[in-house]
Amino acid sequence: MARLVMKFGGTSVADIERIRNVARHVKREVDAGHEVAVVVSAMSGTTNRLVEWCREASALHDAREYDTVVASGEQVTSGLLAIALQAIGVAARSWQGWQLPIVTSEAHASARILDVNGDELVKRFLERKEVAVISGFQGVHSDTGRITTLGRGGSDTSAVAIAAALKADRCDIYTDVDGVYTTDPRVVPRARRLDRIAFEEMLELASLGAKVLQVRSVELGMVRQVRIFVRSSFDPPESIDPHKGTLICAEEDIVEQEVVTGIAFSKDEAQISIRNVQDKPGVAANIFGPLADANINVDMIVQNVSADGATTDLTFTVPAADFERAKDTISNARAQIGYARLDGATDVTKVSVIGVGMRSHAGVAARAFRSLAERGINIRAITTSEIKFSLLIDAAYTELAVRTLHSLYGLDKS
Ligand code: ASP
Ligand code: MG
What is the share, in percent, of the chain residues with pLDDT greater than 90?
93
pLDDT digits (tens, 9 = 90+) for 188-214: 999 999 999 999 999 999 988 788 999
Name the pLDDT band for 87 (thresholds 50, 70, 90).
very high
246: CA distance to ligand 1 center in Å? 21
214: CA distance to ligand 1 center in Å? 10
Q: Which of 147, 152, 156, 230 to mutate to test the pocket of ligand 1 (most atoms within 8 A of CB)?
A: 152
Ligand having the closest approach to the CA of 48: 1
97: CA distance to ligand 1 center in Å? 14
332-338's contacts with Cβ under 8 Å and 24+ in sequence apart are 332/290, 333/286, 333/287, 333/290, 336/286, 337/274, 337/277, 337/283, 337/286, 337/287, 338/277, 338/278, 338/283
Phi, psi values for residue 359, rounded to 5°: -60, -35
Whether 152 is in the pocket of ligand 1, judged by its Cβ within 6 Å, is: yes
Collapsed DSSP state (helix, strand, coil) of residue 154: coil
Collapsed DSSP state (helix, strand, coil) of residue 19: helix
Q: Which residues pair with 357 in a beta bridge?
A: none
**Model confidence, pTM:** 0.91
383: CA distance to ligand 2 center in Å? 29
Q: Do residues 24 and 238 lie in contact, with contact meaning Cβ atoms separated by under 8 Å? A: yes
pLDDT score recorded for residue 108: 97
Give the containing element (helix H, strand E) for 385. strand 381-385
pLDDT score recorded for residue 381: 93
Stretch 328-346: mean pLDDT, rounded? 95
Q: Which residues pair with 270 in a beta bridge?
A: 318
Closest residue by Cα to atom 5, ligand 1, is 153
Helix axes of 72-87 and 16-31: crossing angle, nearest 10 degrees: 60
Give the containing element (helix H, strand E) for 27. helix 16-31
Closest C-alpha to 41, from 70, 83, 3: 70
Chain centroid, CA 140 distance in Å: 23
Phi, psi values for residue 308, rounded to 5°: -80, -5
Distance, CA of 133 to CA of 375 (rounded, Å): 53
pLDDT digits (tens, 9 = 90+) for 36-68: 999 999 999 999 999 999 999 999 999 999 999
Q: Which residues pair with 232 in a beta bridge?
A: 175
For the chain, give the mean pLDDT: 96
Q: What is the DSSP letter of 98?
A: T
Residue type, 276: N
47: CA distance to ligand 1 center in Å? 6
Closest residue by Cα to atom 8, ligand 1, is 153
pLDDT digits (tens, 9 = 90+) for 257-305: 789 999 999 999 999 999 999 888 888 999 999 999 999 999 999 988 8
Whether 73 is in the pocket of ligand 1, judged by its Cβ within 6 Å, is: yes
Q: Which atom of ligand 1 is nearest to the CA of 74?
A: 1
Q: Which of 155, 171, 214, 233 to mutate to test the pocket of ligand 1 (most atoms within 8 A of CB)?
A: 155
Q: Do residues 7 and 71 lie in contact, with contact meaning Cβ atoms separated by under 8 Å? A: no
Collapsed DSSP state (helix, strand, coil) of residue 283: helix
pLDDT score recorded for residue 62: 97
3-state secondary structure 202-213: HHHHHHCCCCCC
45: CA distance to ligand 1 center in Å? 9
Phi, psi values for residue 70, rounded to 5°: -70, -25
pLDDT score recorded for residue 312: 92
Say whether pLDDT at 256 is over 80.
Answer: no
pLDDT digits (tens, 9 = 90+) for 131-150: 999 999 999 999 999 999 99
Q: Do residues 77 and 41 lie in contact, with contact meaning Cβ atoms separated by under 8 Å? A: yes
Name the pLDDT band for 307 (thresholds 50, 70, 90).
confident
Helix axes of 155-165 and 215-224: crossing angle, nearest 10 degrees: 10
Whether 3 is in the pocket of ligand 1, judged by its Cβ within 6 Å, is: no
Phi, psi values for residue 277, rounded to 5°: -85, 140
- Going by their DSSP bridges, the two strands 170-175 and 228-232 should be labelled as parallel
Whether 262 is in the pocket of ligand 1, judged by its Cβ within 6 Å, is: no
Q: Do residues 141 and 133 lie in contact, with contact meaning Cβ atoms separated by under 8 Å? A: no
Name the pLDDT band for 308 (thresholds 50, 70, 90).
confident
Distance, CA of 118 to CA of 199 (rounded, Å): 25
